[in-house]
Amino acid sequence: MTVELAFWILALVMVGAALAVVLLRDIFRAALLLVLCFFTVAGIYITLNADFLAAVQVLIYAGAIGILLIFAIMLTRNIKEGNPFNRLKIPALLVSLLVFATIVGVIVSTDWTTVTGASQGVVVPVGSATTGPIATALFDQSKGFVLPFEIASVLLLAALIGAIVLVRDRNSKE
């Protein structure tokens, strides 16, 4: 019951913040509301028994990506332009409503109780901490994700170098 109440409050705040991100004229306020939206997603993770992921969400999304976006807005802000719509406003609305109707139709018509996936992967009981078991799920010899983990670290290194190369000022030779 408590989880259900928390879900509804978090869902309402989240959808409101996301709509404000899309509809607000001031892009700086939109970025701040996006950070609020990230925080509510962390709350949703807690209602889903994902405590480690909630901490990661606050650290990486609300912290790192939020600050990065605000920096980019400060560096490129054009006050008089703001955050306008392009001329695809109505077609984009139709397309996203169509996608939404399709997804909801599939969700409602699928019988989720017949789906089982417990044969593979690490399973923990509801209500227990997930930080330690996630390490097992990532690094276990037989059912782990060691190779994707290593590829992710190479991806982060490539993104780091790529970002530095892209924003380097090419005119100043030292």
Partner 1 sequence: MHFGLEHYLILSAIMFCIGLYGALAKRNAVAILMCIEIMLNAVNIALVAFSRYLVPHAVLLTGQVFAIFIITVAAAEAAVGLAIIIAIYRSRQSVDVEQADSMKG
Contact positions with partner 1 (CB under 8 A) in 109-148: 112, 115-118, 120-126, 128, 130, 133-134, 136-138, 145, 148
Which residue's CB is nearer to partner 1, number 147 or number 174?
147
Among 86, 141, 142, 172, binds partner 1 (CB under 8 A): 86
| Locus of tokens 């970025």 | 31
C-alpha–C-alpha distance, residues 43 and 171, integer Å: 46
In whole angstroms, the minimum distance from the beta carbon of 97 to partner 1 comes to: 7
* Concatenated DSSP letters of 28-51: HHHHHHHHHHHHHHHHHHHHTT-H
Residue among 36, 55, 68, 142 that touches partner 1 (CB under 8 A): 68
**Is there binding between residue 79 and partner 1 (CB under 8 A)?**
no
| Candidate residues 76, 141, 142, 172; the one interacting with partner 1 per rule CB under 8 A | 76
Binding mask 153-172 for partner 1 (x = CB under 8 A): --xx-xxx-xxx-xx-----
Cα separation, 57 vs 63, whole angstroms = 8
Q: Residue 121: left (phi > 0), alpha (psi -120 to 50), or beta?
A: left
The least CB distance from residue 174 to partner 1, in Å, is: 18
Q: Whose Cβ is closer to partner 1: residue 81's or residue 174's?
A: 81
Residue 65 CB contacts under 8 Å (≥ 6 apart), including other chains? 38
